[in-house]
Amino acid sequence: MDREQLASEVASIRWWHTIDLGNGIVTPGVDDSRAKLDFVRMPADLSGRSVLDVGAWDGFFSFEAERRGARRVLATDSFSWGEGGWGSKQGFELARRALGSRVEDRDIDVLDLSPEAVGVFDEVLFLGVLYHMRDPLLALEKVASVTGQRLILETHIELAQSKKPVMVFFPAQELADDATNWWGPNPAAVEAMLRAVGFRRVECVASQLRRSSLPARLAHGTYNMLTKGWSLFETQGYGRMAFHAWK
């Protein structure tokens, strides 16, 4: 594929991930994907490892796992590959061709994952998916069933100050004006769920909570009090966290 043709095809697709395809062509993704690599603490060396990327979308993390030496990578998705989201599978397929990648793909819902359906993998990536699941504990149970050693999970977090495991339910479009965002677990809830589905050790490896300025906290708190009836305490400590969990 020559550069002009590749650039034309890239321009015709709506991208989520920002992927360097070579020859000076980088996909115009909404997501600053490379910045998340350090945040989720993806191992620098995956030599000999098998990797499952659940909710792969355009495949940035799948291709990165391959680049870091994984012997086998399987990218799975369903919603973002054409079952109702604004994305499609075109980005993944184009990136795979442009990169000459051997990453495998499987159209399968999270709740259909099982050892019989996809196998068991050394490393499983579950990035930015948990809070989209209507049944998060069941989703984690399915993901745990195909995790051989480690799960790397990244998710939206709410109520970070609470020591009790709790989750905020978003029945409409309260979170980022997106009706596919259902839950905001707190860190204690994420850890408790991971342990409940069979992980013996859980570690929070990165946290990005929005506590940067008092005016911003007050504005966010006032909005949530007026629109959701939450107390000021309940509106604080939201953002993103990444966890590693081992069998």
| Under 8 Å between Cβ of 126 and 153 | yes
Amino acid 168 reads V
DSSP-derived pairing of the beta strands 20-22 and 167-169 = unpaired
pLDDT digits (tens, 9 = 90+) for 19-52: 999 999 999 999 999 999 999 999 999 999 999 9
Q: What are phi and psi of 178, to 5 degrees?
A: -125, 115
- For the CA atoms of the chain, what is the radius of gyration? 19
Amino acid 89 reads K
| Under 8 Å between Cβ of 204 and 187 | yes
The CA-based angle 60-128-241, given to 5 degrees, is 115
pLDDT digits (tens, 9 = 90+) for 151-210: 999 999 988 888 899 998 888 887 767 788 889 999 999 999 999 999 999 999 999 886
The confidence score (pLDDT) of residue 71 equals 98
pLDDT digits (tens, 9 = 90+) for 50-90: 999 999 999 999 999 999 999 999 999 999 998 667 889 99
Counted residue by residue, the chain has a size of 247
DSSP-derived pairing of the beta strands 239-246 and 201-209 = antiparallel
Domains and CATH numbers, the chain: 3-210+239-246 (3.40.50.150)
